[in-house]
Amino acid sequence: MVVMKMKFPFEKRVKLAQGLWLLSWCATVAGATTFTLGCVLKTELRRRAEVMDNTDVHIVPNTLMIVGLASLGINYFASKICQDALDAGRFPRWKNFLKPYFAVSCFFTVLMLLAVIMSYAMKGSLESSLKVGLRNGIRFYKDTDTPGRCFQKQNIDRLQMEFQCCGNNDFRDWFEVQWISNRYLDFSTKEVKDRVKSNVDGRYLVDGVPFSCCNPSSPRPCIQYKLTNNSAHYNYEYQTEELNIYLRGCREALVNYYMSLMNTIGAGVLSIFILQGSVLVSLRFLQTAMEAVAGKENTEIETEGYLLEKGVKDTIMEVRSTVWDVVYSQMSPSF
């Protein structure tokens, strides 16, 4: 039972070959675009690598780059095949090449679709990676003298100013961490001693945030310290104050940024996937239509083109048995 049989008179074959040639060059450009999009995403992820705990999410841009490069090759061969397709003398030399070519092309096209699905599905992994990374970043904010963590303060400050966010979940994360180094605390003063004694770990905790949490859109000069103490500042109520410091947490800000980037890229790659799929389907039709012409004297007869010779199930079983035979024949000489 043939899948999707279609009749192809000579003019339709010629039109199909010409259209396919144009389409394959468009798909080549699209493949290059996919590669570029993968590079862009990878660069953006690497820029904030210090606040990410693991690099699991990098699988998305890596896949996009591989698929982009592969589709350049696939579409180059597709254009060459359809150039030779209408020439009955030149087409037969592609005969042995086409079966593995279609297998590889289908694999990479499916991989493209997987990349799109992953770009939506990796949100959870990204969020947990950012959660751990930001928590560490805030914890090591004060360690500007420890090798390996010297620039943590700079990175967190820049991040908070650029993404207009404060802390991990929100600004209260800064209350739970000692973000002022002991080098700048005068341990002879009573205030410092009291604060350090007031908690189990002996940390100097304040209800204050770094200056990078300050919102420039606030009408009043920034209140950084004694945030929860209404009486410490004139005409100030911290429960209703919204413009003083950034209320958004950096994890939420970063997740939103990366998800919008990946959604845009995912939408683009999805349309490229449809383009690539149509190139492969048209090539398959052209191949089967031209194979029916082979050996005949009159090359301008009407032929039939199809997608699969047998039904879907039979084709899968046939492919599986072919692969098994190949693997078995590779393995047996080793005995």
Partner 1 sequence: MAVLKVKFTKTKRDKLAQVLWILNWISVVTGAILFSLGLFLKVEINKRGELMAERDIQYVPNMLIAVGLIACAINFLGGKICYDCVDTTKFLRWKLIMLPYIICTFFFTFCVLVGALMCYSMRGELEESLNLGLTDAIRFYKDTDTPGRCFLKRTVDLLQIHFQCCGNNGYRDWFQIQWISNRYLDMSEKEVIDRLRSNVEGKYLMDGVPFSCCNINSPRPCIQQQITNNSAHFNYEHQTEELNLWMKGCRQALLEYYTHIMQSIGLAVLITWLFELSVLTGVRYLQTSLENVLRQGDPNSESDGWLLENSFMETARTNLNIIKSLGKNNHIHTSNNGDPNINVPSTSKAHYGPDNVPPKQITEGS
Name the site residues for partner 1 (rule: CB under 8 A): 144-145, 153-154, 157-158, 161, 179-181, 183-186, 210-212, 214, 216-222, 224, 233-235
Please enumerate in sequence order all residues whose Cβ is within 8 A of that of 35, keeping only pairs 6 or more positions apart, or say none: 64, 65, 68, 69, 72
Residue 186 CB, nearest distance to partner 1 (Å)? 4
Q: Least CB distance from residue 253 to partner 1, whole Å?
A: 17
Q: Toward partner 1, which CB reaches closer, 53 or 157?
A: 157
Shortest distance (Å) from residue 194 CB to partner 1: 16
Instruction: CB nearer to partner 1: give 89 or 148.
Output: 148
C-alpha dist (Å) from residue 145 to 148, 153, 154, 182, 211: 9, 11, 13, 11, 20
Q: Between 154 and 229, whose beta carbon lies closer to partner 1?
A: 154
Q: Which is nearer to partner 1, 158 or 320 (CB)?
A: 158
DSSP 83: H
Residue with smaller CB distance to partner 1, 141 or 258 = 141
Q: How far apart are CA 28 and CA 69, in angstroms?
A: 9
Residues 6+ apart with CB under 8 A from 138: 156, 167, 168, 173, 174, 177, 179
Under 8 Å CB-to-CB from 233, ≥6 apart: which residues? 223, 226
Residue with tokens 């080098």: 183
Q: How many CB atoms lie within 10 A of CB 121?
A: 11
Min. distance of Cβ 215 from partner 1 in angstroms? 9
Q: How far is the CB of 292 from partner 1 (least distance, A)?
A: 52
Cα 185 to chain centroid, rounded: 44
